[in-house]
A and B are shown apart, each in its own frame.
Chain A
Amino acid sequence: MAPKRIAWFEELRISDRPSAGGKCASLGELIAAGIPVPLGFTVTAQAWAEVIEFADLGHRIGDLTRAVDPNSSSALREVRQQAVEIIHGATLPPGLEEDIREAYATLCARTGRDDLPVAVRSSAVAEDGAANSFAGQQETYLWVQGADQVVLRVRDCWASLFTPQAVAYRAKLDQAHRDEAVKMAVGVQEMVDAEVAGVAFTVSPTTGDPSVMAVNASWGLGEAVVSGEVTPDEFWLSKIGLTVTRKTVTHKAHRCVPAPTGRGTQIVDVPADIADSPCLSDELLHELGEIALRVEKHYGTAQDIEWALARDPDGSHRFMLLQSRPETVNQATRAAIQERTAARTAGAQAYLSVLKGLGLPGQGPG
């Protein structure tokens, strides 16, 4: 069976990374685990490969990028300009644009909303996070509405492979890695109109303590947190009993909201009466914590999760996960903390080391 151009998230598992990219494959895996995730589909790496082949992009852009001096920023900018023009002007393989439009129409039908606002995001196939970042595969377009705009933003995601930093980065790679680095899927997912959004770590990002969870949260869409527009509220939970153990409530002056035009987003001031309020209650933190723990349990390893809290017109709320990836705690940080703890308790340790050599009567719990 020929690989599919379009795959719905619910059809995907983590093993589908080569076709759906890491981001979309992980969302599929979450759905399979019963975690709430926005509806969406993937324009697969196969579809992009077909585009490259059909429009002969391998030659047209390949010639451009091979010839460029990776140290000349003006040359890189020129390459990008031309690549964007080529990609946007390229004729797509027969039926692909229709496939994307049809999938979008289906998405609208499934959510019961015409011109459903969606997020269009690159979904990297390569495992290397640094490569993804340099290769422009972190591109995200928010609040995209209408089939025309969706197709346009899918092309933008493809074109993001040719940003100056992406081209310069790939120039340093060998051929095999370079080939891998240009494979890319694009995710199209229902936009969550987030009242509050942020990230959650299922392990302490500062000490690596696996019994705690850290949550950052701010008003509006999560982009304000990710881009550093605001200092988010910080909440710490104990995984045992999921109680809130620490809160740092900040002044959250700005938030990211849908633009009044209906396309894209903008940063606006937060009303004074809520700027200094905690943006998640203990009850909501508990609910989010439960979801995060389910994700961690599903993967069997600590996770770094992007989440959003949607408020429906009837006042009810629901958490949605936008992304989840393994969290690798900074090992150097953890080692430093352990060293400090050991130094502070050196005297007691000397005493207790004697204790430990005694072969004491122990009984396990239960």
Chain B
Amino acid sequence: MTTLEPEPVAREVRFPDPYEIETPAGAEGWEEMYPYYLRFLPQRREADGGRTWFRDGMHFPEPMPPFDIVSAEQAFMSTGVMNTRVFALPPALGLDFRVLNGYMYMSALGVEDPAEIGRRAEEFAVRVGHYYKNWPSLYAAWEDKVKEQIAALKAITLPALGDFEPVENVLAGRGITEANDLLVAYQRVLASIDAVWNLHSEMLNMGYAAYLNFLMTVKGHFPEITDQAVAQMVSGVNVLLFRPDDELKRLAHKAIELGVTQQVTSAADFASLRADLGGSEAGIAWLKEWETSADPWFNFSYGNGFYHHHRSWSDDPTFPLAMVKEYIGRIVAGENLDRPLAEVEAQRDAVTAQYRDLIPAGPDRDAFDEALGLSKVVFPYVENHNFYIEHWYMTEFWRKMREFGDLFVRFGFFDRAEDVFFLRRTEVHDALVDLQIAWSAGGPPIGPVHWPPIVAERRRVIDALKHWTAPPALGPAPGEIVEPMTIMLWGITNDQVERWLAAAAAGDQTVLEGFAGAPGIAEGPARVVLSPDQLDELVEGEILVAPITSPSWTPVFARIKGAVSDIGGIMCHAAIVSREYGLPAVVGTGNATATIRTGQRIRVDGNVGVVTVLDD
């Protein structure tokens, strides 16, 4: 007999104690890559060891390079300041976060005192009320603010640091020198990311809260409704995350129109294609179309934007070019690549109407309409912010930081520009001061003898940490989980915790449970993809198994039969994209990439959220 109900688990069960976890072999000394305030310090063993910590593998699936942790700091800090200080969520503050063996863990801070909850509720009503009532205009303003920030970041220029201060500075009597410009440029970059992450979180929690409100309204009437059915009712059909893929299809059509398919489909890489097409009018016209698409739409991370090495389509056009080739072939073969937007929308509205009809007319149906209406108002922001921040802005951010890397390479600090990401942000500051001093005085910087062995060692440690399997949670089993972001985005619910505990207790690895991200059932060989550079290995008909998929992987969804992720709730990108593509998806399984091996036959049941390993 097969049963799909999770086994009940006794509450005494604990997740591993963060203070008992050992350092993986070869990763000794990992701690010095991260600031003191992010580590489980022995002095805080009693306080931190007594709390529940959830791994944030959704945003941070890999060990953090020392500089990249700035993205984690910004993400958690901005969520925190909005919850705690800006909107005064009554029962929830922000999230504490720590790094353990290179992996990010978070722990929610709550408000227990009813009087304090009441005080916060008054503030919350005024502040959040203003946002909800003026949402469309605030969202329009938000888009402008983000675009301004991106333009400002791109405008930050690093000083030339040639043999002499530029003569025009001297003739203008400027006084302030390029040595100062260098430091200011770095400070402006750090201030920029800090500002942009404030914007990222400005409206996000309210968006999720409105959604949670709808979810709970619906669950009150339909206790057994799947999360995916609820999500479907509010999902937009024309989401920015699909735009880059639409641009690839547009470029395929343009190539046919301009008669350059031969050159495009036979190109070895983008550089040779550019050279090839540069000689003809039609070729130049197509390249212009490419540039139009690329800015901003190819600022689309291969990963999730939180790591410097995830890169984007514009940093590395291999993948978009391959997809344009594939789309050309499919168009020539007579396939219609257009997404049936009207159909998807009509289907969504039909499903919504069917549920609505099951609710008795009167106050209950009115409440449903109100909750749905609010969700629809906030959803464009919820669905689109990710492209603006994680993809577009972060692509520009890492690019700007590589300019500092190039400068360090020029002055002999490192061999590779990428090495800059193996310094902590305060260490980058130190190295810049080193460079300032050296350039100013005309002597040699000290960095070139100091940093290379440290960077080499840290690269080795990060590699060792990659092979460590981070537990989904640490510390005692939690009480009720109420923080909306935790539930909606990370998919950490009371039921999910029970499943993790059950899995830890049972050790059964042939059936994995997660969230029903997108409906349907598929069977096929698994392809475990741990990083974007493995995407090429995906063969038609395989099932993608990944820690978390990135929206920029969207085009490969045309090739696969289903998707499984370690991390993510029903609003995560894998689920959104799978629903759009009509592929079954199970998200938030916790440990699919550690359990499933490439080549194993698996079954993905996106109706109930179960993955079964069918053979070895």
Interface residues of A in 315-366 (CB under 8 A from B): 337-338, 341, 344-352, 354-358, 360-366
| Contact between A358 and B229, CB atoms less than 8 A apart | no
Interface residues of B in 499-533 (CB under 8 A from A): 519
| Contact between A365 and B356, CB atoms less than 8 A apart | yes
What 1/0 flags go to A67-85 for Cβ under 8 Å of B? 0000000000000000000
With contacts A211-B355, A349-B216 taken as known, whether A363 is within 8 angstroms of B376 at the C-beta atoms is yes
What 1/0 flags go to B578-616 for Cβ under 8 Å of A? 000000000000000000000000000001100000000
| Contact between B371 and A362, CB atoms less than 8 A apart | yes
With contacts A350-B90, A362-B371, A366-B349 taken as known, whether A204 is within 8 angstroms of B482 at the C-beta atoms is no
* A360–B128 alpha-carbon span in the complex (Å): 10
With contacts A210-B358, A341-B223 taken as known, whether A240 is within 8 angstroms of B2 at the C-beta atoms is no
| Contact between B223 and A352, CB atoms less than 8 A apart | no
| Contact between A365 and B212, CB atoms less than 8 A apart | no
With contacts A354-B90, A355-B209 taken as known, whether A246 is within 8 angstroms of B369 at the C-beta atoms is no
* A354–B222 alpha-carbon span in the complex (Å): 23
B484 contact set on A, CB distance < 8 A: 348, 351
Interface residues of B in 1-60 (CB under 8 A from A): 1-4
B351 proximal to A (CB < 8 A): yes
A248 proximal to B (CB < 8 A): yes
* A250–B23 alpha-carbon span in the complex (Å): 46
- Please pick, from A241, A341, A358, A362, the residue contacting B372 in the complex, using a CB distance under 8 A: A362
A145 proximal to B (CB < 8 A): no
| Contact between B213 and A352, CB atoms less than 8 A apart | yes
With contacts A211-B225, A354-B125 taken as known, whether A361 is within 8 angstroms of B133 at the C-beta atoms is yes
- Please pick, from A212, A250, A364, the residue contacting B373 in the complex, using a CB distance under 8 A: A364
A101 proximal to B (CB < 8 A): no
| Contact between A352 and B519, CB atoms less than 8 A apart | no
Q: Give the secondary structure class of B's interface.
A: helix
For residue B361, give the distance in angstroms from its CB to the closest CB of chain A.
Answer: 12
Query: Which one of A244, A250, A362, A364 has the greatest number of beta carbons of chain B within 10 Å?
Result: A362
| Contact between A358 and B354, CB atoms less than 8 A apart | no
With contacts A248-B4, A352-B213 taken as known, whether A363 is within 8 angstroms of B480 at the C-beta atoms is no
For residue A294, give the distance in angstroms from its CB to the closest CB of chain B.
Answer: 15
A165 proximal to B (CB < 8 A): no
B226 contact set on A, CB distance < 8 A: 238, 245
- Please pick, from B4, B129, B353, the residue contacting A366 in the complex, using a CB distance under 8 A: B353
B91 contact set on A, CB distance < 8 A: 347-348, 350-351
| Contact between B370 and A360, CB atoms less than 8 A apart | yes
What 1/0 flags go to A245-271 for Cβ under 8 Å of B? 111111100000000000000000000
For residue B71, give the distance in angstroms from its CB to the closest CB of chain A.
Answer: 28
With contacts A210-B358, A238-B229 taken as known, whether A355 is within 8 angstroms of B369 at the C-beta atoms is no
With contacts A243-B607, A364-B369 taken as known, whether A204 is within 8 angstroms of B223 at the C-beta atoms is yes
| Contact between B223 and A365, CB atoms less than 8 A apart | no
With contacts A354-B124, A355-B209 taken as known, whether A360 is within 8 angstroms of B132 at the C-beta atoms is yes
A138 proximal to B (CB < 8 A): no
For residue B405, give the distance in angstroms from its CB to the closest CB of chain A.
Answer: 44
Q: Which chain A residue has the least Cβ–Cβ distance from B233? A: A365
For residue B608, give the distance in angstroms from its CB to the closest CB of chain A.
Answer: 6
| Contact between B216 and A345, CB atoms less than 8 A apart | yes
Q: Which chain B residue has the least Cβ–Cβ distance from A231? A: B1
For residue B563, give the distance in angstroms from its CB to the closest CB of chain A.
Answer: 19
B255 proximal to A (CB < 8 A): no
What 1/0 flags go to A222-239 for Cβ under 8 Å of B? 000000000000001011
Interface residues of B in 89-123 (CB under 8 A from A): 89-92, 110, 117, 121
With contacts A246-B4, A348-B484, A351-B90 taken as known, whether A210 is within 8 angstroms of B209 at the C-beta atoms is no
Interface residues of B in 461-480 (CB under 8 A from A): 480
| Contact between B354 and A209, CB atoms less than 8 A apart | no
| Contact between A356 and B213, CB atoms less than 8 A apart | yes
Q: Which chain B residue has the least Cβ–Cβ distance from A244? A: B607
Interface residues of A in 297-328 (CB under 8 A from B): none
B355 contact set on A, CB distance < 8 A: 211, 240
Q: Which chain A residue has the least Cβ–Cβ distance from B356? A: A365
| Contact between A361 and B374, CB atoms less than 8 A apart | yes
B290 proximal to A (CB < 8 A): no
| Contact between B135 and A361, CB atoms less than 8 A apart | yes
- Please pick, from B128, B219, B358, the residue contacting A358 in the complex, using a CB distance under 8 A: B128
| Contact between B372 and A364, CB atoms less than 8 A apart | yes
B149 proximal to A (CB < 8 A): no
B4 contact set on A, CB distance < 8 A: 246-248
With contacts A240-B355, A362-B372, A363-B376 taken as known, whether A348 is within 8 angstroms of B212 at the C-beta atoms is yes
B560 contact set on A, CB distance < 8 A: none
A212 contact set on B, CB distance < 8 A: 222, 224
B223 contact set on A, CB distance < 8 A: 204, 207-209, 337-338, 341
What 1/0 flags go to A142-176 for Cβ under 8 Å of B? 00000000000000000000000000000000000
| Contact between B219 and A341, CB atoms less than 8 A apart | yes
| Contact between A361 and B607, CB atoms less than 8 A apart | no
Q: Which chain B residue has the least Cβ–Cβ distance from A350? A: B91
| Contact between B608 and A351, CB atoms less than 8 A apart | no
For residue B413, give the distance in angstroms from its CB to the closest CB of chain A.
Answer: 49
* A360–B514 alpha-carbon span in the complex (Å): 33
B220 proximal to A (CB < 8 A): yes
For residue B353, give the distance in angstroms from its CB to the closest CB of chain A.
Answer: 6
B494 proximal to A (CB < 8 A): yes
| Contact between A245 and B607, CB atoms less than 8 A apart | yes
With contacts A337-B223, A341-B223, A362-B370 taken as known, whether A350 is within 8 angstroms of B117 at the C-beta atoms is yes
With contacts A251-B1, A347-B91, A357-B125 taken as known, whether A239 is within 8 angstroms of B358 at the C-beta atoms is yes
| Contact between A239 and B349, CB atoms less than 8 A apart | no
What 1/0 flags go to B374-403 for Cβ under 8 Å of A? 101100000000000000000000000000
For residue B443, give the distance in angstroms from its CB to the closest CB of chain A.
Answer: 60
Q: Which chain A residue has the least Cβ–Cβ distance from B89? A: A351
| Contact between B216 and A352, CB atoms less than 8 A apart | yes
A251 contact set on B, CB distance < 8 A: 1
B193 proximal to A (CB < 8 A): no
| Contact between B358 and A351, CB atoms less than 8 A apart | no
| Contact between B216 and A365, CB atoms less than 8 A apart | no
B210 proximal to A (CB < 8 A): yes
* A355–B208 alpha-carbon span in the complex (Å): 12
For residue A56, give the distance in angstroms from its CB to the closest CB of chain B.
Answer: 53
For residue B406, give the distance in angstroms from its CB to the closest CB of chain A.
Answer: 48
| Contact between B358 and A211, CB atoms less than 8 A apart | yes
B349 contact set on A, CB distance < 8 A: 365-366
A345 contact set on B, CB distance < 8 A: 216, 480, 482
For residue A351, give the distance in angstroms from its CB to the closest CB of chain B.
Answer: 5
The 16 sampled A-B contact pairs (Cβ below 8 Å) are: A209-B224, A211-B355, A236-B224, A239-B354, A246-B4, A248-B1, A347-B91, A347-B480, A348-B484, A351-B209, A352-B209, A354-B90, A354-B124, A361-B133, A362-B370, A363-B377
The 10 closest A-B pairs by CB, nearest first: A347-B482, A362-B373, A362-B370, A363-B373, A364-B369, A207-B223, A209-B224, A211-B222, A348-B482, A358-B129
Q: What residues make up the interface of A, taking CB atoms closer than 8 Å to B? A: 204, 207-212, 236, 238-241, 243-251, 337-338, 341, 344-352, 354-358, 360-366
Identify 17 new A-B residue pairs, CB closer than 8 A, beyond the known A362-B369, A365-B352: A204-B224, A211-B221, A211-B225, A212-B222, A246-B607, A338-B220, A345-B216, A346-B482, A348-B487, A351-B90, A352-B213, A361-B132, A361-B377, A362-B374, A363-B373, A364-B373, A366-B353
